[in-house]
Structure 1
Amino acid sequence: MTLFDPTLLLCAFGFFSSLRPFEPFITAFLLGPDKNLTETQVVNEIFPVWTYSYLALLFPVFLATDFLRYKPLLVLQAGSLLVTYVLLWKARGLLATQLLEFTFGLATASEVAYYSYIYSVVEPVRYKRVTGLCRGATLLGSAAGSLMGQLLFSVAQVPLLHLAFITLASAAVAFITAWFLPMPKRSLFFHTSPSTAALSSSSPSEQMKESKEAMIPRSPEARKGGSRLLGVLTMLFEDFVQCYKCRPLLAWSVWWALSTCGYFQIINYTQALWEDIHPSGKLTIYNGYVETLATLLGVVAALLVGYLPVSWSTWGELALSLLSCLMAVCVFVMDTLRNIWVCYGCYILFRAVYMLLITMATFQIAASLSMQRYALVFGVNTFGALLLQTLLTLVVVDSAGLGLDIHTQFLVYAAYFTAIAVVFLIAWLCGVVSKRISKKEEPSLEVQELSCSPDGTSCM
């Protein structure tokens, strides 16, 4: 592996773009003397901008990612992070800080290019290995950044603004790294080759079928340059309908969208809850240690998925219900007991449970799909999560809506996860009842089959 090998460069990009020592302290910084914003401004007027911008930019960025063949969007992602932290350093006042959240939303939306890029520059036999390496690099960068930030802040007593400078430097390294990545010659939708689509089928015949299905254009009008976008959109819609006809895939996707919506809300606003319970201006905070531990335990939980002796096809919906209930309990306890150590512990458990389930959902969804369709399903699920999060933010958080205080918000989020648990418990019970009814009807179906004429054209 050479210095400029795409895999090595991708891992370096993922590590440095995720190395953000400042991130565990963003709320404390905005509420502190450097920015001197109020809690209402930060929670109800600034943070919601990230949600709105992420939703608005996700679909156009998704299409641009494929059309421009990934690399330009990786440069855009790192460049947006650079602009975000420059604004964090220089910005003063509400409007400038809201602009900062918009640029961070652009950086977040551009992350879709990172994993998509992998499948355009490496051979199919290396997909699993390279995906694992890149995933590990981003998680390692996130954990290392949180630990570094906490040690510099609490041990070396480095000012929070200096942590922003270190994060800015890390984003600059990622930005430079992105320029050395080779430009792919193909993509999943706009620029395809026969090898692009044959990614995850279980047999050679299925690989050949997927390869034929995934080649663009699929229809005559899509062959015309001016109608290429229309052809891709038509193909995406056809694949969307085909994918979501599968009930198990639909169930895991619904949980994915619902839970990711709530997960985003928790990780976005939990620092505000901690700040209210344990003010950083008066007491020592340990947000960096907590984020590091939460990330590492999340990795362990994700790795455990492959070793759990559970028939997910049979017990999956019940597991989703019970563990969603556990997540609801974590959020409720964080809010009601108002003890910072209890908050830290519940937050770590909450993230570990989510990582366990989202990894299982990823495996269950990806197992029966080509990489092209998996990219579509992943995008649709994420878009659904963001749409729900936008509605939840608009109603619960935004000052234009109810503008609830942080403790009332967390009560709403606890109720939200409880509702998810109830939905999937009902779904599991309906599935059990349906299977029992089917078993009772099997004898009568066999009798009908035996009474058919030998040529099968009529039944008695």
Structure 2
Amino acid sequence: MDAYRRYYVPCHAGWVGPTVLLCIYGFCSMMRPIEPFVTVFLTGTYKNLTTEQVTSQVIPVWTYSRAVLLVPVLLITDFLRYKPVIVLQSLTYVTAFLLILVGSGVHSAQLAFFFYSIAMAADVAYFSYIYSVVPPSYYQRVTGYVRAAILLGYAAGASLAQLLVSFGVPLYYLAVMTLISVSIALITSCFLPMPKTSLFFNEAYSVDQTKSSVDVNNSESWDFWVKSVTAAKYAGMMFRTLILDCKKCYSSMAVLFFCIWAATGRCGFYQVSSYVQVLWVYIQPNNFTAYNGGVDAISTLSGAAASVAVGHVSLEWSVWGELVLGGFTLLIAGALFLMDLTGNIWISYTFFFLFKTVYMPLTTICTFQIAKKLNRRRYALVFGLNSFVGTVLQSVLTAVVINTNRGLNLRVTDASNPLILFQFIIYASYFAAISLLFTVRGVYTVFHMKAARRSETTTCSPGSSHSPKTC
């Protein structure tokens, strides 16, 4: 046992051990071969659900549940110091795919998507954990490793799915492989070291507890009362800090607009990704040898490469960033319009590839522009709030477009009337509206910045009455 400890502790004491474990966890939790074909699996002979049931009863459960769960998970993640939430995430992944594999009926599928929503809401723990166990000097390197592991896991799962489906392997075995992969992630999460401190919540609570236990009598009831009062005061202090931090973060118009795109873009991306398989089922029904997995894998890798390329683009993002977002968001809207109007599966695949390839670098631009202007302590808060706003918007969009009782109840497509406003036309219009907003804002920013610089140049020109210090 002593020999084991001598070997095990140094690995966790540095940055290598936690990073390796987190990369293994990220790869295995994201390698889910059944996902590119989950709609086909649910509507096929395995589960015998109708496309209408999957569209209006099953998938919306994931959207609504995630909107409800995101705030509680965000609040407890830092307080619990990340690891318990990561373990919960892997456990809910296992439960979700176990239900998809062995369950039957609409209620079983809804329960599976509910557990899946818990896992997705817990993503904030995964992305925050690494910064609490490694020194700041390794942040950039570790972030690259972790994100690479996630993308490789997703691409590997989609590629494996496509390869097996092309060789006629039943989808049931893809579900089994997915369950095995997330089970390995669950085992790996148990070996992650527990962070000693959190990023946002400091140790004031524990210090107050220690002082209280020293100063008061040994009476258990009195000690419990003091601890309760201390906890209540600490909770109030932290909520006030959260409100003040939110006010500081969103007081900058530049940060605010990048956050708006991050939230609205996330909403549209997940809405399209959730229902694109349903669209493909309508375009090419009963096509077991579809290339959903291949398209998903290639578009993920292409988007990742584009995101890396954006990091090396030499551009004054504070001036041109909003205009870039507006222009490329219009490209996304056009891709979605054409994806829905075409009756050819290969053209639809091509435009989905374009959609995903363009979206990923745009969200990368928003991420590093927001991060540049924020204190490190506020990263989890702002990114968590952006995710929450995006999820709430997604819930509203789902209620309006999908809900069978009160919404528009628009079908994904209808071969008998291709000119009607279909579901993906709504999504395309949504991105077109975002594009218009950011194009107008981008043009204003460019002219405003240029006017400010001309004014500054004129003020500081030779012969002006201003002193050099003023200039």
TM-score range (shorter-chain normalised) is 0.7 to 0.9
Distance 1:429-1:182 versus aligned 2 partners, 3 A rule: same
Q: Which position in structure 2 is the counterpart of 1:363?
A: 368
Report the AA paired with residue 415 of structure 1. Answer: S
Of 356, 359, 364, the residue aligned with 1:354 is 359
Are positions 1:272 and 2:278 aligned together?
A: yes
Change (3 A) 1:247 1:12: same
Quote the residue 1:201 is aligned against. none
Shift, 1:237, TM fit = 1.1
Is the contact made by 2:334 and 2:428 (CA closer than 8 Å) also made in structure 1? yes
**For the residues of structure 2 that align with 1:332 and 1:338, how far apart are their CA atoms?**
12
CA 1:175–1:322: 2 relative to 1, 3 Å: same
> Are 2:156 and 1:144 aligned?
yes
Q: 1:436 to 1:170 in 2, by over 3 A?
A: closer
Mapped to 1, the partners of 2:287 and 2:201 lie a distance apart of 55
What runs of 5+ residues in structure 1 fail to find an aligned partner?
A: 194-220, 453-460
Q: Against the structure 1 CA distance between its residues 153 and 311, is the aligned structure 2 distance closer, same or farther, given a 3 Å change threshold?
A: same
Q: What residue identity is the alignment partner of 1:309? A: S
Alignment identity in percent?
45
Q: Which amino acid aligns with 1:403?
A: N
Match in the other structure for 1:214? none
Q: Look up the match of 2:432.
A: 418
In structure 2, what is the Cα distance between the partners aligned to 1:443 and 1:292?
A: 50
Is 1:179 matched up with 2:193?
no
Query: Distance between the aligned counterparts of 2:78 and 2:459, measured in 1?
Result: 49
Deviation string for 1:393-438 (max 9, x for gaps)?
A: 1111122322210131100001011101111111123334544665
Name which of structure 1's ranges 223-232 and 432-441 shifts more when overlaid on structure 2. 432-441
Q: TM-score, normalised by structure 1?
A: 0.87
260 and 150 in structure 1: CA distance in 2 versus 1, 3 angstrom threshold: same
**Partner amino acid, structure 2, of 1:190:** F
User: Are the equivalent residues in 1 in contact too, given 2:303–2:361 (CA < 8 A)?
Assistant: yes
Partner of 1:255: 261
> Conserved in 1, the CA contact under 8 Å of 2:319 and 2:446?
no
Q: Is the 8 A contact 1:21 1:148 kept in 2?
A: yes
Contact map agreement 1:252 1:364 (CA 8 A) in 2: yes
Partner of 1:204: none
Cα drift, residue 284 of structure 1: 2.1
Moved over 4 A (4+): 1-4, 435-446
Instruction: Read off the aligned partner of 1:230 and give its amino acid letter.
Output: G
Instruction: Please name the residue that 1:217 is paired with.
Output: none
- The residue number in structure 1 matching 2:20 is 8
Q: Could you tell me how far apart the structure 1 residues matched to 2:328 and 2:140 are?
A: 28
Q: Deviations over 1:40-93 (max 9, x none)?
A: 110111101101111111110111111111111111011001100111122211
- Spell out, residue by residue over 1:13-65, the C-alpha distance to the aligned partner (whole angstroms, 9 max, x if none): 00100010111000101110111111111011110110111111111011111
1:406 counterpart SS class: coil
1:343 aligned onto 2:355: no
Q: Deviations over 1:139-160 (max 9, x none)?
A: 11000011111111212x2211
- Alignment partner of 1:317 is 2:329: no
Change (3 A) 1:275 1:119: same
In structure 2, the gaps of 5 or more residues are 1-6, 205-226, 414-421, 467-471
Superposed, 1:2-401 pairs within 5 Å as: 5-155=17-167, 157-192=168-203, 224-279=230-285, 281-282=286-287, 284-400=289-405, 401=407
- Deviations along 1:95-123, whole A, 9 cap, x unmatched? 22111110000010111111111011111
CA gap of 1:192–1:319, structure 2 versus 1, over 3 A, is farther
* Cα offset, 1:222, TM superposition: 12
SS in 2 for 1:14: helix
One-letter amino acid of the structure 2 residue matched with residue 256 of structure 1: A
